[in-house]
Structure 1
Amino acid sequence: MQGLSLKISQQQRLSPQQIQFVKLLQIPTAELAARIEEELEENPALEEGLEINDSDELDEQERETVDDWEREELEVGDYLQDDYAGYKMAGDSYDPNEESPERPMATVSSAEEYLLMQIGFVVKDEREELIAQQLIGSLEEDGYLRRNIESIVNDLAFTQGFITDAQEVEVVLKKIQTLDPAGIGARDLQECLSIQLHRRESDNPTCLLAIRLIDEFFEEFSKMHFAQLQQKLGVDEADLKKAVQLIKRLNPKPGGSEGGNWVPYLQPDFVVTNQSGKLDIKLNGKNAPELRVSKSFQEMLQTYNQGNKQQKEVKEAVTFIKHKLDAASWFIQAIQQRQGTLLKTMQSIVSQQYDFFLTGDDASLKPMKMKDVAALIDMDVSTVSRVVSAKSVQTDFGIYPLKYFFSEGISHESGEDVSTREVKNILREIIEQEPSQEPYPDEILENLLAERGFVVKRRTVAKYREQLGIPVARLRRKL
């Protein structure tokens, strides 16, 4: 049987203004300038700079965007005000007259752009160039190609209607592997190291031995079976050690820059300084130019309002101007709210980790979770997560990502809660001091930590060791 039914349900949806704020909150300060520049280009009602005469400012009045002229009369007077002369917070630290201690930043193209610049020197025709572009676009951040060749062939067929085969793609891949940085386009670690070694002096005995280690005995080498390698290669310990040292100097992750060793410029979002025992917290406002709503657009709206509102052209013009003025004021409000939320969150983090910001000692870091900060500032955990994401703070002891200050806690035998970061630092210290030829397995590391008052299970020791990027004992063995 067919019938009609009525169902009532409640749904919570974010408004366009809330979505805009959430997106602005998540991006770091270094990207904020580009986002503001994009908005300035798209919205002529938004301008950069301070208002010359602040005495004209009026109190803000609530406005709603009107899509239908017949449904609501446009209130032009609401748009003839400007209380958005600038959105910078009192906590912003940028002074245009202040000398900056930062070093100039070199302009460096991305790894993908750098590779695309080089392919013209190795491909022979447009066909190979198209395959090369697809391969370069498929590289991961570390420079490896982890998609198999058959998938690349299918990608070209389905997305571009380009028919090729695995053999042709393989030929082009070999050409990409001749580009800089050495090792780019490798499909695994063995191939990456082999590419780098084959570019070195082929008549150097140490290099030749290193090539054999990687090309012929990679499994034994990766498991550090040095005794077996000496026997199979027929070399003494000194020569083997030289070859191993040469391999260790290679770059296992060639992606990221043309030199392989370029470190991205990091601009902190916050600055925390010790002012005679009192911590001063500021927002970095260098990438946030002053914004205001355009007075010329407000005057334009007033001019149109004096015309005949019944004319279709006048209605459309007023609606367009009103929409742009709304968008400009909403954007400025979102920037203001972003700055306030960032500063409020950072103040809470500093209050929790006050001793660390005074001394820079990792041992003074306390266990802290995002929900702890969210409770302090009376906001949702997701908001704190967005603030922390990709943000950093400059201290008297260096620049730290905000996520550095969040960690779980474990109990010390004294009954005090200790940050897992301190336990990791002690674990690293123990491993650095272990005998090179007989490194400690996880069971012994567990006992050594217990001697220092940290009761940690073996599996937890293994997890911390992996998080520190430290291999198992067998792979830490040295000649």
Structure 2
Amino acid sequence: MQSRQSLELRQHQQLALTPQLQQSLRFLQLSTQELELEVAQALNDNPLLEREEEYDTEAGAEVANDAQAMDERWTMLGSANRAGNNNADEETERPETALTETLQEHLQEQLRLTRAQPRDCALVSLLIDELDENGYLLTSLDEILAFLPAELDVGLDELQAALRLLQSFDPPGVAARSLSECLALQLDHLPVNASFPAQVLALARKIAADHLPLLATGNLNRLRDALACEHDTLLSAHALLLQLEPKPAKEWATSTAAYITPDVLVRKIRGRWIVSVNPAVMPRVRINRVYEGLLGEAPAAPAMQAQLQQAHGLIKSVNQRFVTIVRVMQAIVDRQMDFFEQGHSGLRPLQLRDLAQELDLHESTISRATKQKYVQTPWGVLELKRFFSSALQTDDGQSTTPSAVQMLIHKLIEGESGKKPLSDSKLAALLAEQGVVIARRTVAKYREAAGIEPAIVRKARAALEAHQG
């Protein structure tokens, strides 16, 4: 058989992602913090890019003039006050704010006030450095002893004595090795008096030492049988344990809350909910006008032309990112109008393909535009992903969302009796009466997601509150 060579022309369509489109998709997927880092890197790499000034030159000059005039008036006023009052304090600077004391510094200060020997102080300082942010000593004494040089000849009894000294410091419960020991240390600091009877203190110590898992279940009847005590004494001991602090170093915690800056804002303007970009997260970048003018007047090197093209592409990708996010969020607002008017109970089922068809975008684009993007609503700052959920069918043919079911469960529990709280089975029956038919295990899952305790714990808590009242 002879082989023949031939030329053929064929036509076919193929989607090609240009570098500009790839950059736009990547920017769309980035969070606000990641976008800011990307823009900052571009500003360092590309000399044609620069940040826009918040105020123009003329406005800045006016502000400077006003500030200078204000300084002159304050200077004249200060001179007049000093002339009229020779005893006035001439120090105009404010005192510096005192630095926040750490837990380690607080404990070291107490250690310096003791009469411990230098060797004991060194061991206590070693233990202080091993405390975690909650004030617990999570490293065992044997491990600490193993890391100490052998030539120091430190015995376990010395380390235990140093630990006992540290545990006597303020705050009570510090340097505990478990929650049980932490509560016991705090109980040891309490005096025996009318507020803390000896019988109640002894029972609280016994619960802290041996029965914390049973106490966590909330079944006070089983706990009373295990302790063989009076019910009123058990309630008093329980109330005493609730007054203790499971995290002794809570007041010295240095961790700060992480606040979320929303990407877009939703406001009601003339009866309609409108979406707008949050100016605080919009990168203010532009192309340097001087450089751009010079490149336009005379032929430039290919590298400079490439940087100019990259600068235009970055600005376009950033703007396109926010345009897409606003489009997607506005479509969400139009479909979730009941949520913005009523709250979480007004959420309706919504899926990615619903918006993809409406906006003529791919589902992956909707997913990128809603991942790690946040919106400021009348009901708080929420991630855009929160507005998407599958549908739960009701008896009347309507559909609801898991968030709406959680709100129904919350309302039912708010109206329950403390002596006879609603079990998950009873909640499932009450929801079925309202047309939402779900299994008991599903009710338990939604209840836990809403942060609601089981019925037995709610019953124990209500009994304790009634006893305290």
TM > 0.5 between the two? yes
| 1:442 and 1:458 in contact (8 A); partners too | yes
1:184-240 deviation line (CA, Å, top 9, x unaligned): 9999xxx35754774577215477755543332122112223134335446544453
Residue number in structure 1 paired with 2:308: 325
CA gap of 1:21–1:397, structure 2 versus 1, over 3 A, is: same
Aligned-pair CA distance for 1:409: 1.9
Residue 44 of structure 1 aligns with an amino acid whose one-letter code is P
**Preserved contact between residue 214 and residue 221 of structure 1 (Cα < 8 Å):** no
Shift of residue 353, structure 1, vs aligned partner: 0.7
State the match for 2:452 in structure 1.
470
1:154-169 to 2 correspondences below 5 Å: none
Quick one: distance in 2 between partners of 1:323 and 1:177?
66
Aligned equivalent of 1:49, options 35, 52, 61: 52
CA RMSD across the alignment: 5.3
Find 1:367's aligned residue among 349, 353, 362.
349
Q: Which residue of 1 aligns with 2:216?
A: 222
Say if 2:204 and 2:240, in contact at 8 Å, map to a contact too.
yes
Which amino acid counterpart does residue 387 of structure 1 have in structure 2?
A
Aligned residue identity for 1:345: V
Q: Gaps spanning 5+ residues in structure 2: where?
A: 1-12, 57-101, 112-120, 148-155, 464-469
Aligned match for 2:190, one of 190, 200, 203: 203
- Label 1:433 to 1:262 Cα distance change in 2 as closer, same or farther (>3 A): farther
Alignment match, 1:283: 277
Q: Is the 8 A contact 1:391 1:402 kept in 2?
A: yes
Q: Does the Cα contact within 8 Å between 2:392 and 2:400 map onto a contact in 1?
A: yes
Give 1:354's aligned amino acid: M
Quick one: which of 313, 334, 349 aligns to 2:317?
334
Aligned to 1:272: 266
**Which of residues 359, 377, 382 is equivalent to 1:377?**
359
Partner of 2:336: 353
Distance verdict in 2 for CA 1:50–1:377, change over 3 Å: farther
CA offset at residue 47 of structure 1?
A: 0.2
- Say which structure, 1 or 2, has more relative contact order (CA 8 Å, 6+ apart): 1
Does the 8 A contact of 2:351 with 2:388 survive in 1? yes
Matched, 1:25 2:20: no
Aligned pairs for 1:37-436 within 5 A: 37-49=40-52, 191-192=178-179, 195=182, 198=185, 202-203=189-190, 205=196, 210=204, 212-233=206-227, 236-245=230-239, 247=241, 259=253, 263-298=257-292, 319=303, 321-357=304-340, 359-436=341-418
1:301-347: CA deviations, max 9, x gaps? 689957xxxxxxxx7xx53x445434433322221111111101101
Residue 26 of structure 1 deviates from its aligned partner by 3.6
Q: Does 1:455 align with 2:449?
A: no
Q: How far 1:278 moved relative to its partner? A: 1.5
Which amino acid counterpart does residue 230 of structure 1 have in structure 2?
A: R
CA distance in 1, matches of 2:122, 2:272: 65
Residue 291 and residue 449 in structure 1: after superposition, are their counterparts in 2 closer, same or farther (change >3 A)?
same
For structure 1, the 5+ residue unaligned runs are: 1-9, 54-113, 157-166, 307-314
Match of 1:279, SS state, is strand
Q: Report SS of the residue matched to 1:272.
A: strand
Mapped to 2, the partners of 1:124 and 1:15 lie a distance apart of 65
Choose 457-466 or 36-45, whichever is displaced more.
Answer: 36-45
Greater shift in the superposed pair: 199-208 or 278-287: 199-208
Counterpart-to-counterpart distance in 1, 2:448 and 2:35: 34
The count of residues paired between Structure 1 and Structure 2 equals: 371
* CA contact 1:272–1:280 (8 Å) conserved in 2: yes
Query: Residue type matched to 1:366 in 2?
Result: R
Kindly tell me: are residues 469 and 49 of structure 1, through their superposed partners in 2, closer, same or farther at Cα, counting changes over 3 Å?
Answer: same
**In 2, Cα distance between equivalents of 1:355 and 1:21:** 33
Shift of 1:42: 4.0
Separation of aligned partners in 2, 1:416 and 1:293: 53
8 A contact 2:107–2:170 mirrored in 1: no
* Identity percentage of aligned residues: 29
Q: Following TM superposition, by how much is the alpha carbon of 1:390 offset from its aligned partner in structure 2, in angstroms?
A: 3.0
Specify whether residues 301 and 456 from structure 1 end up closer, same or farther in structure 2 by C-alpha distance, changes over 3 A only.
same
Q: How much has 1:372 moved relative to structure 2?
A: 1.9
1:141-171 CA distance string (max 9 Å, x none):
xx899x999xx99xx9xxxxxxxxxx9xx99
Give the C-alpha shift of residue 51 in structure 1. Answer: 12
CA, structure 1 residues 44+360, in 2 after alignment: closer, same or farther (shift >3 Å)? farther
Name 1:446's counterpart in structure 2: 428
Distance 1:301 1:254, change over 3 A: farther
Is the contact between residue 183 and residue 208 of structure 2 (CA under 8 Å) also seen in structure 1?
no
> What is aligned with 1:101?
none
Cα distance, 1:266 vs structure 2: 3.2
Q: Shift of residue 352 of structure 1?
A: 0.6
Q: Aligned partners of 2:248, 2:388: CA distance in 1, in Å?
A: 30
Give me the whole-angstrom Cα distance separating, in 1, the residues matched to 2:215 and 2:346.
Answer: 41
Query: C-alpha separation between the residues in 2 aligned to 1:295 and 1:387?
Result: 32
Q: Which moved more, 1:416-425 or 1:372-381?
A: 372-381
Amino acid aligned to 1:430: L
- Preserved CA contact (<8 Å) 1:45 1:325: yes
Code of the residue aligned with 1:348 in structure 2: it is A
How far apart are the structure 1 equivalents of 2:173 and 2:20?
46
Shift in Å, 1:249: 6.6
Q: Secondary structure at the match of 1:477?
A: helix
Counterpart of 1:410 in structure 2: which amino acid? L
Cα deviation, residue 35, structure 1: 4.6
Quote the Cα distance in structure 2 between the aligned partners of 1:474 and 1:26: 45
Structure 1 residue 375, shift from structure 2 partner: 2.6
2:451 aligns to what SS in structure 1?
A: coil
